[in-house]
Amino acid sequence: MKNEGIEGMERFVSPDKGRGLQALRHFAVGELVFACPSYSSVLTENERGAHCDLCFTRREDLFKCGKCKQAFYCNVDCQRGDWSMHKLECVAMCAYGENWCPSETVRLVARIIMKQRVTTERTPSERLLLFSEFEAHLDKMDSEKDELNQTDIAALHHFYSKHISNLPDEQALTELFAQVNCNGFTIEDEELSHLGSAVFPDVALMNHSCSPNVIVTYKGTVAEVRAVQEINPGDEIFNSYIDLLYPTEDRKERLLDSYFFTCQCTECTSKSKDKEKMEILKLSSPSEPEEIQSMVYYAKNVIEEFRRAKHYKNILFL
């Protein structure tokens, strides 16, 4: 692919934050800053049958893979498009039966290894940052993280070594898992249900702020980055890596543990919203089982109504 970069954006070196993304023009609130197809993605096991394994579209009339009967597709094109990845799991899922249990990260890493083997050029997901350039922070791994990493590597060997010839060596796999942990994304639908995991290299170029100027949403397996604050030429583009409902100390701990940096954004310095956040957390302290049951019942009904309305809207506008 000829690299034309991303219109209105530039990769730059952000003081104390490594590489980052900078705006070259103005973006209004709500404007699409850029979109990025996934480099690699995997549908979560719980959503099998409800969403297409390739494009993540939710529909009732998916058809299943005739061999394993566990992967579902919109049509033959989606099935063909996914085969180079699904073949890693198709036979293995049948062979392992109930013992098939690789984690989602392991499933994603297996796909990334295959993707790297068939990719010879910069992909449309890597206009400003290549997957191979991802930060791994190997020097900051403690013994606990090392152990988790070893467990993932063992699972990859156990479930996939028959289907991926010559798996990378121990050191390369350690780096690969560390890169995915530090740069990977989880995909949610509009109801915030977890749909799967993926890597979007250009989206991973954005550094974190607890007062971000963009948010990332998903259309199938395409990430859309939209402005939530006005962005001016020269501004750094900041995304949030974490749930911002938590007070400063909790956020800092989480960022240091998962992403190895101490956040010094305006929100972490001023702590201006901590009091409100503490109140919200207090309100969300454990509820009675009956209360939870009634909330789940209510939420399920609302979701069902929402889906029905969306379905009719789609039919009307076809």
Binding site for ligand SAM (CB under 6 A): 16-20, 135, 137, 182-183, 204-205, 207-209, 259-261, 263
Least distance to ligand SAM, CB of residue 309, Å = 36
Least distance to ligand SAM, CB of residue 203, Å = 8
CA distance 64 to 75: 9
Could you tell me if residue 291 is left (phi over 0), alpha (psi between -120 and 50 degrees) or otherwise beta?
alpha
Task: State which residue has the least CB distance to ligand SAM.
Answer: 18
Structure-token match 């190997």, residue found: 138
CA-nearest of 79, 19, 16, 4 to 237 is: 19
CA-nearest of 14, 3, 1 to 264 is: 14
Q: Name the residue type at position 1.
A: M
Q: Which is nearer to Zn ion, 67 or 307 (CB)?
A: 67
The torsion defined by the Cα of 106, 112, 118 and 122, in degrees rounded to 10, comes to 180
Least distance to ligand SAM, CB of residue 18, Å = 3
Least distance to ligand SAM, CB of residue 210, Å = 9
CA distance 166 to 169: 8
Least distance to ligand SAM, CB of residue 37, Å = 18
**Partner in contact with 268, chosen from ligand SAM, Zn ion, none, beta carbon below 5 to 8 Å by kind:** Zn ion
Least distance to ligand SAM, CB of residue 4, Å = 21
CA distance 8 to 20: 14
Could you tell me if residue 234 is left (phi over 0), alpha (psi between -120 and 50 degrees) or otherwise beta?
left
The token pair that represents 199 in the structure block? 């890597």
The token pair that represents 159 in the structure block? 């479930």
Q: Which is nearer to Zn ion, 146 or 253 (CB)?
A: 253
Residues that bind Zn ion (CB under 5 A): 52, 54-55, 57, 65, 67-68, 71, 74, 78, 90, 210, 263, 265, 268
Q: Which is nearer to ligand SAM, 181 or 221 (CB)?
A: 181
Answer positive or negative: Cα dihedral of 258, 259, 260, 263.
Answer: negative
**Partner in contact with 11, chosen from Zn ion, ligand SAM, none, beta carbon below 5 to 8 Å by kind:** none
**Partner in contact with 260, chosen from Zn ion, ligand SAM, none, beta carbon below 5 to 8 Å by kind:** ligand SAM
**Partner in contact with 135, chosen from ligand SAM, Zn ion, none, beta carbon below 5 to 8 Å by kind:** ligand SAM
**Partner in contact with 261, chosen from ligand SAM, Zn ion, none, beta carbon below 5 to 8 Å by kind:** ligand SAM
